[in-house]
C-alpha cells in the first residue's frame, strides 16, 4: 500500500460490470484506502457504494476525478467538472480530451492522461 494520504475520488463513468476498468478502479481505489464516489446517471449502487447520478449531485470536496467516459460524452460534463473543483482530473486511456484538459487547467485543476490502475499499482497516485 502507498504511503500517500487517502483521497476522495470520483469515478466518472462508473460501471457495475466487473470487466470494465472503471469497476476495477472502484475496487482498487478502495483497496488503497481512498473514499470513492461512483458517478453514473443510471445505476443506484455499484460495489456496495451509493452512486451519484451526476457531478452536480456530489456535495463533498473532491481531490481527484478519474474519467472513464468517452470524449464525446464528456463534452456536456465540463461545467460539472469545473463546478466540482477537484484538485486533479485523470483522463484514463480512451477518455483523453486535450481541449477539455486545457479548460480545466485554466481553472486551476491539474490534469493528466494516465491509467488510474497503473498509477495506484506503481505508487504514483
CATH of the domain at 33: 3.40.50.720
The pTM score is 0.95
3-class SS at 36?
strand
pLDDT at res. 5: 85
Indicate whether 3 belongs to any domain. Answer: no
Indicate whether 14 belongs to any domain. Answer: yes
In whole angstroms, give the CA distance from residue 85 to residue 119: 21
Average of pLDDT values for 111-122?
97
Q: What is the DSSP string of 92-120?
A: -TT---HHHHHHHHHTT-EEEE--HHHHH
In whole angstroms, give the CA distance from residue 109 to residue 52: 21
Our measurement of the distance from residue 55's CA atom to the centroid of its chain's CA atoms, rounded to an integer in Å, reads: 10
Indicate whether 117 belongs to any domain. Answer: yes
Average of pLDDT values for 30-35?
97
Domain span at residue 82 reads: 8-121
Amino acid at each position: 500500500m502507498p504511503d500517500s494520504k487517502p483521497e476522495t475520488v470520483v469515478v466518472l463513468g462508473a460501471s457495475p460490470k466487473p470487466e470494465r476498468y472503471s469497476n476495477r478502479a472502484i475496487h482498487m481505489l478502495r483497496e488503497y484506502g481512498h473514499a470513492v464516489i461512483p458517478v453514473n446517471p443510471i445505476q443506484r449502487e455499484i460495489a456496495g457504494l451509493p452512486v451519484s447520478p451526476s457531478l452536480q449531485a456530489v456535495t463533498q470536496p473532491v481531490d481527484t476525478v478519474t474519467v472513464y467516459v468517452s470524449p464525446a460524452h464528456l463534452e456536456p460534463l465540463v461545467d460539472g467538472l469545473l463546478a466540482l473543483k477537484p484538485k486533479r482530473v485523470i483522463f484514463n486511456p480512451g477518455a483523453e480530451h486535450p481541449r477539455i484538459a486545457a479548460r480545466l487547467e485554466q481553472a486551476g485543476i491539474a490534469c493528466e492522461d494516465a491509467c488510474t490502475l497503473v498509477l495506484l499499482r506503481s505508487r504514483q497516485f
